[in-house]
């Protein structure tokens, strides 16, 4: 067997892809700390996923509300917890300096419409199973990816680089930059890349969104995600450059929604600040605590829960990024 890249190899005279995103289960075992105290939050399968405008209008934060750190906003949440959270909501806090971008928007939200349509996000990207969080701390090799054989499909016109075992952050960074540069030179948008990806017919690789391409270029994906996507985008680049060389061009787009648009909840700056405060003292609040916070901020519990999930993901990325510097 000849290893072409960390995910591509020649086996039985066929070029084989180890699904880059099919990660093996972590050998380190469980590290998640399931809070066994969760109060089986019944969670009425609330079909409305977005904050109704009404509740926002009645929210004291929306209009001419002025944040007062000494005010007692959370009478039902234990005081020490509250105090710590409040202390950390101040602008000069260590926390705020770590999440500067989240303190910019002061615009309250009132643009929601009751959404009835369910989102049909068909995952067309790469199929995978989630790797362990610890994976992200590994930078010399990637022991979590299975080298499973894909059903005999041979993909030969895709140029491959013999030595690509690198998952060195430096190399990733360099590639991401080069990628963006070349992509722009080719006059291709991020959205285009994502769409054209499916034309590569790489096993297990469909299309990707503009968001993902953007995040790849700006290194705002998890390390694992970057590593997994690199060979795919590298293949696309080869493909695109070859296509450009042969002067072969074809343009076509067209993709837009109808009525069933998904609405994005927007959490006002004040609420966000408080959430950040809570997060700093307790990144993983129990379901009960989440419910309390949700009630206090007049947000839906699920919105708060998701916010914490996303905040954790973001924090992890930042942590990893900072590790690369020091």
Q: Which is it for the CA torsion 67, 72, 77, 82, positive or negative?
A: positive
| Cβ–Cβ < 8 Å for 304, 294 | yes
Tell the smallest beta-carbon distance from residue 245 to DNA (Å).
26
**Cα-based distances in Å from 295 to 156, 258, 272, 292, 299:** 57, 34, 14, 5, 6
Tell the smallest beta-carbon distance from residue 280 to DNA (Å).
15
Of residues 278 and 307, the one with the C-beta less far from DNA? 307
Of residues 113 and 242, the one with the C-beta less far from DNA? 113
Of residues 3 and 286, the one with the C-beta less far from DNA? 286
Tell the smallest beta-carbon distance from residue 215 to DNA (Å).
5
Tell the smallest beta-carbon distance from residue 38 to DNA (Å).
4
**Cα-based distances in Å from 308 to 126, 248, 274, 286:** 25, 47, 12, 11
Tell the smallest beta-carbon distance from residue 208 to DNA (Å).
4
Cβ neighbour number for residue 249 with a 10 Å cutoff: 8
Q: Which is it for the CA torsion 302, 212, 126, 162, positive or negative?
A: negative
Q: Cα 313 vs. chain centroid, distance in angstroms?
A: 7
β-pair partners for 8: 17
Of residues 2 and 261, the one with the C-beta less far from DNA? 261
Of residues 74 and 179, the one with the C-beta less far from DNA? 179
Q: Roughly what angle, to the nearest 10 degrees, separates helices 269-281 and 79-87?
A: 120
Of residues 74 and 307, the one with the C-beta less far from DNA? 307
Element (H, E) at 181: helix 169-185
């Amino acid at each position: 067997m000849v290893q072409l890249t960390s995910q591509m190899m020649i086996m039985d005279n066929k070029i084989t892809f180890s699904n880059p995103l099919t990660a093996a289960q972590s050998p380190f075992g469980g590290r998640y700390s399931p809070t066994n105290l969760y109060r089986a939050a019944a969670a009425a399968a609330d079909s409305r996923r977005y904050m109704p405008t009404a509740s926002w209008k009645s929210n004291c934060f929306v209009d001419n509300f002025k944040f007062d750190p000494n005010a007692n906003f959370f009478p039902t949440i234990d005081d020490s917890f509250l105090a710590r959270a409040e202390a950390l909501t101040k602008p000069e806090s260590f926390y705020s300096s770590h999440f500067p971008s989240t303190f910019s928007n002061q615009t309250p939200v009132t643009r929601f419409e009751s959404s009835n349509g369910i989102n049909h996000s068909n995952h067309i990207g790469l199929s995978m199973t989630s790797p362990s969080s610890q994976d992200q701390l590994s930078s010399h090799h990637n022991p979590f990816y299975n080298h499973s054989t894909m059903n005999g499909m041979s993909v030969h016109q895709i140029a491959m680089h013999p030595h690509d075992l690198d998952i060195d952050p430096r190399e990733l960074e360099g590639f991401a930059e080069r990628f963006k540069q070349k992509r722009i030179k080719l006059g291709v948008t991020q959205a285009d890349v994502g769409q054209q990806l499916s034309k590569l017919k790489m096993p297990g690789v469909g299309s990707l969104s503009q968001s993902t391409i953007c995040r790849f270029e700006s290194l705002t994906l998890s390390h694992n995600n970057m590593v997994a996507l690199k060979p795919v985008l590298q293949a696309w680049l080869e493909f695109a450059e070859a296509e450009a060389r042969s002067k072969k061009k074809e343009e076509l787009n067209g993709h837009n929604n109808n009525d069933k648009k998904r609405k994005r909840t927007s959490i006002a700056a004040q609420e966000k600040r408080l959430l950040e405060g809570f997060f700093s003292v307790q990144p993983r609040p129990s379901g009960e605590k989440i419910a309390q916070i949700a009630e206090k901020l007049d947000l839906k519990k699920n919105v708060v829960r998701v916010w914490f999930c996303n905040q954790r993901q973001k924090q992890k990325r930042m942590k990893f990024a900072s590790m690369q510097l020091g």
